[in-house]
Amino acid sequence: MKKSRAENRYDEGLLLGYLVTLVAGLIMVYSTSSIIAESRFGSHLYFLKHQMIWTVLSLLTVFVIYRLDLKRLAVYSVPALMLTFVLLMLVFVMPARNGSHRWLTMGPLTLQPSELFKFLVVAYLAFSLSNPKRNLGDPKQLAFPYVPIIGLGLALILAEPDLGTCVVLCLTALGMFFLAGARLRHLYAALVPPALIASFFVFVLGYKKARILDYVASVIDPIQGGYHVRQAALTLGCGGLLGTGLGEGRQKLFYLPYPHTDFVFAATGEEIGLLGLLLVMGLLSFLLWRGWKIAAAQPDRFGFLLGAGMTWSLFVNIAINIAVVTSLLPVTGLALPFFSYGGSSLLMSSAAVGVLLNLSRRVAR
């Protein structure tokens, strides 16, 4: 039987917004990385070429996910998480980069399993929490099996170490429990163990303690914070209202750390100014708005939780990255979805868009 035209329709606005954001992201990756690429690798196109490869893979991923029966495949989310645990363990046999074991090397490309884990956690929670037999008012049913499964992933990611991704995972999971109807007092209680563990790592073991102290100093005056914070503040200030022009930024000339990855928002602000940043934020906000609209219109609980979870996860990543760059949060090392250089972030963010496009076909028109 052929599907009707209504069943084959998708959210054209979301797709168009995604494609425009992809192009804008490629432009800013090249503009913020060309000098570093020329200096380190002898080619100003080095980072752009790699990002274009991941862009093609991301588009293919969106197309494949769009065609899948997500509800039927959701049952395999648990085995997929088990496989991801193996990948999270394999990163420790890989050479460390910047003092961390976060990446698996696959020829010229690298994969960050923690990004895949974030994506699969949303799919797993949507499948599990949509089960009508699950009583979310029972603390035992909230603790098991979620604490062992999510907790193991958090432990492996924390050991890499990657505290920023752990924060995103915790907030994403708590947001989905809230949307599924869990009681607030249970969610508050669930915050205590991660907060205690994070405090132990930071203030007892000293992990990223300097960044926390720098952040406290930057709250009073960004110029008094750590080097990353100072340079981000200076970079944003240099852009003014209209910016210096694409490719004309000076802070990326080895002053601002990671101008094409963690701090691409600051480097972008220098070149296209406040008005340009508002446009970037407008593009990202448009994607999030369409995601929420799609989730809210779903005909069943699974579709709602899956769409809302993917959208919420993207929002948390975007909000934390921008908050770090603007000195509202300590430095975490998180990428800005669709704009930062990095294949894993782009691939998984695009996969989330693919899920939303898939779900948009289920909406009654």
Tokens of 159: 């050991």
Answer with the residue of higher pLDDT: 183 or 286: 286
- Written as six digits, the tokens of 215 are 């952040």
Residue count (the chain): 365
pLDDT digits (tens, 9 = 90+) for 30-51: 999 999 999 999 999 999 999 9
User: Amino acid letter at 267?
Assistant: A
**pLDDT above 90 covers what percent of the chain?**
56
Contacts of 51 (CB under 8 A, 6+ apart): 25, 26, 29, 341, 343, 346
Q: How many CB atoms lie within 10 A of CB 333?
A: 20
pLDDT-derived band at 88, boundaries 50, 70, 90: very high
The per-residue pLDDT for 20 is 97
Q: How far is CA 180 from CA 48, 69, 123, in A?
A: 40, 22, 13
Q: Which of 289, 296, 279 is nearest to 315 (CA)?
A: 289
Which residue carries 């998180």 as its tokens? 334
Average pLDDT over residues 329-340: 88
Q: Peptide bond before 139: cis, by omega within 30 degrees of 0? A: no
DSSP class of 3: P
State mean pLDDT over 304-329.
94
Question: Is the pLDDT at 226 greater than 60, yes or no?
Answer: yes
| Confidence bin at 228 (pLDDT 50/70/90) | confident
Give percent of the chain with pLDDT exceeding 70.
Answer: 90
The 3-state DSSP class for residue 34 equals: helix
Residue 199 reports pLDDT greater than 90: no
What is the per-residue pLDDT for 2? 46
Residue 26 has pLDDT above 60, yes or no: yes
Helix (H) or strand (E) holding 150: helix 146-159
162, two tokens: 């990657």
Q: How far apart are CA 165 and CA 13, in angstroms?
A: 29
> In angstroms, what CA-CA distances link 96 with 93, 101, 102, 115, 332?
9, 5, 8, 18, 18
Greater confidence, 138 or 125? 125
State residue 6's pLDDT score: 47
For residue 261, pLDDT over 80 is answered with yes
CA pair distance 217, 126, nearest whole angstrom:
40
Query: Would you place residue 193 in the very low, low, confident or very high pLDDT band (cuts 50, 70, 90)?
Result: confident
Query: Averaged over 291-301, what is the pLDDT?
Result: 95
Q: Which of 78-82, 106-110, 229-233 has the lowest mean pLDDT?
A: 106-110
Kindly tell me the burial class for residue 339, based on how many C-beta atoms sit within 10 Å of its own C-beta (0-12, 13-18, 19 or more): buried
Kindly tell me if the per-residue pLDDT of 208 is higher than 70.
no
Question: Between residues 229 and 291, which one has the greater pLDDT?
Answer: 291
**Rounded to an integer, what distance in angstroms lies between the CA atom of residue 161 and that of residue 170?**
16
Domain segments of the chain as ranges = 5-360
pLDDT at 201: 65
Is pLDDT larger for residue 11 or for residue 163? Answer: 11
